[in-house]
Amino acid sequence: MPELSRFFGIIIRMYLEAGIEHHLPHFHAYYQDEVAVFSIQPVELIAGSLSRRQLRFVEAWAELHQTELMKDWELLQLGKSPDSIQPLN
């Protein structure tokens, strides 16, 4: 699963599973043993969980980078590698 960004111990990844059509553009956020899945437009938690602070970091980062996230989603749907996205500073 390609890593798009990493900040404050949070890893952001996005992938396409071969043979499975995803209907909702989304990304995965990992923090320690926690995993959450977020839709891109609108940015919202759709599965899993993160602690409150990490949840807010991911939401803020995704709001800032929605256009880049959608571009990466489209690249993956075409079988291409996604681009890295600047971390939250």
Q: Is residue 68 part of a domain?
A: yes
Residue 86 within a domain: no
User: For residue range 11-30, what is the model confidence (pLDDT) as tens digits?
Assistant: 999 987 655 666 789 999 99
Q: Classify residue 84: in a domain, yes or no.
A: no
Residues 22/73/77/32 CA torsion (nearest 10 deg): -70
Domain assignment present for residue 87? The answer is no
Does the residue 23 lie in any domain?
A: yes
d(CA 50, CA 47): 10
Is residue 22 in some structural domain?
yes
* 85 occurs within a structural domain: no
Q: Is residue 39 part of a domain?
A: yes
pTM of the model: 0.91
Domain of residue 63, residue span: 3-77
* Domains in the chain, number: 1
Determine the pLDDT at residue 78: 87
